[in-house]
């Protein structure tokens, strides 16, 4: 997470009241519950959304994926929330709507909204405000409304404090049907994530089920070096392309994926498979959890 000081020299200037946003100039817009942070680049604009993890760091903080997006030569707009509220606050959507009214987004050739978990919910909903925008949603929640998604019981404290009755931007499953191109990446072994993905499925949605990435799938994708190719593919074609899948072949060397995979194999209690999986993983890295798992297997009486 990139943290900046509260020195104005470290941040883009705030837009003055009545001043229009210029795609050639960096700027910020600050409200009580949300903020925008823009950095200019090429004719492709990537709109990123904070997630539950980034919110553990106080504002001012740089937008999510700032270094990655700028390194790809794209313009960046960070939509930043100050609470774990899934962007269901009185400031976030109006900030985006204000830029729409100014014609800001229309000055770019391509616009891609991207977020993970809470941020994915925000990205799907707010992409509907920008005609032609595509979406990348990693481990998204379709809604946190118990009436709509009774299977979702995570993040209890944050959800209980939020507004899950006001109709506007309540259900991303409704919103995604208004979007021409969307990519939803999830771990199908996480029950809640699989059920949310099922609610989001549709003819314009590319579902990417990548098991053993956990709810923090974005971390695995980043460590594989696959998020850049995913963003580039969606910006160019609206879909994940072969470069993304090629990069995802690196997942065996990502500890989070390897641990989740080995835990799954171990839970199946098939000794030969456990030994085979352990052998493959140890060729990738000297994983302590694999050594311990194989040691436990060796000490367990076999039928």
The structural domains of the chain, with segments of one domain joined by +, span: 8-250, 256-299
Q: How confident is the model at residue 9 (pLDDT cuts 50, 70, 90)?
A: low
pLDDT digits (tens, 9 = 90+) for 191-239: 999 999 999 999 999 999 999 999 999 999 999 999 999 999 999 999 9
Q: Percent of the chain scored above 90 by pLDDT? A: 85
Q: How confident is the model at residue 299 (pLDDT cuts 50, 70, 90)?
A: confident
- What pTM was estimated for this model as a whole? 0.93
What does the pLDDT average to over 18-34? Answer: 96
3-state secondary structure of 237: helix
Residue 200, both tokens: 């989001």
CATH fold, domain 8-250, is Rossmann fold (3.40.50)
**Where is 299: in which H helix or E strand?**
helix 288-299
The rounded distance, in Å, linking the Cα atoms of 199 and 150 is 12
The rounded distance, in Å, linking the Cα atoms of 163 and 145 is 9
What does the pLDDT average to over 4-13? Answer: 64
The rounded distance, in Å, linking the Cα atoms of 199 and 110 is 26
pLDDT digits (tens, 9 = 90+) for 125-175: 999 999 999 999 999 999 999 999 999 999 988 899 989 999 999 999 999
Average pLDDT, the chain: 94
pLDDT for residue 1 = 39
pLDDT for residue 88 = 95
pLDDT for residue 303 = 63
**Where is 49: in which H helix or E strand?**
strand 44-49
pLDDT for residue 6 = 44
What does the pLDDT average to over 100-128? Answer: 98
């Amino acid at each position: 997470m990139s943290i900046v000081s509260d020195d104005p020299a470290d941040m883009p200037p705030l837009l003055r009241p009545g001043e229009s946003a210029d795609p050639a100039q960096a700027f910020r817009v600050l409200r009580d519950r949300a903020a925008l942070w823009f950095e200019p680049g090429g004719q492709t604009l990537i709109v990123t959304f904070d997630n539950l993890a980034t919110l553990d760091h106080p504002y001012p903080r740089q937008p999510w994926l700032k270094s990655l997006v700028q390194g790809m030569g794209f313009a960046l707009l960070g939509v930043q929330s100050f609470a774990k509220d899934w962007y269901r606050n009185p400031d976030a959507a109006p900030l985006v709507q204000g830029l729409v009214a100014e014609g800001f987004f229309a000055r770019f050739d391509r616009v891609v909204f991207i977020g993970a978990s809470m941020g994915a919910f925000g990205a799907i909903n707010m992409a509907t405000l920008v005609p032609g925008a595509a979406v990348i949603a990693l481990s998204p929640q379709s809604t946190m409304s118990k009436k709509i998604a009774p299977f979702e019981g995570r993040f209890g404290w944050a959800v209980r404090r939020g507004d899950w009755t006001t109709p506007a931007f309540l259900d991303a499953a409704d919103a995604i049907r208004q979007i021409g191109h969307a990519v939803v990446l999830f771990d199908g072994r996480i029950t809640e994530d699989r059920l949310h993905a099922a609610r989001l499925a549709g003819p314009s949605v590319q579902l990417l089920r990548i098991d053993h990435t956990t709810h923090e799938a974005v971390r695995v994708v980043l460590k594989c070096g696959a998020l850049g190719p995913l963003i580039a593919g969606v910006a160019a074609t609206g879909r994940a392309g072969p470069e993304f899948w090629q990069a995802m072949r690196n997942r065996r060397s990502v500890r989070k994926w390897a641990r989740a995979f080995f835990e799954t194999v171990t839970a199946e209690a098939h000794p030969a498979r456990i030994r085979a999986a352990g052998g493959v993983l140890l060729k990738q890295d000297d994983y302590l959890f694999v050594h311990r798992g194989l040691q436990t297997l060796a000490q367990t009486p076999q039928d």
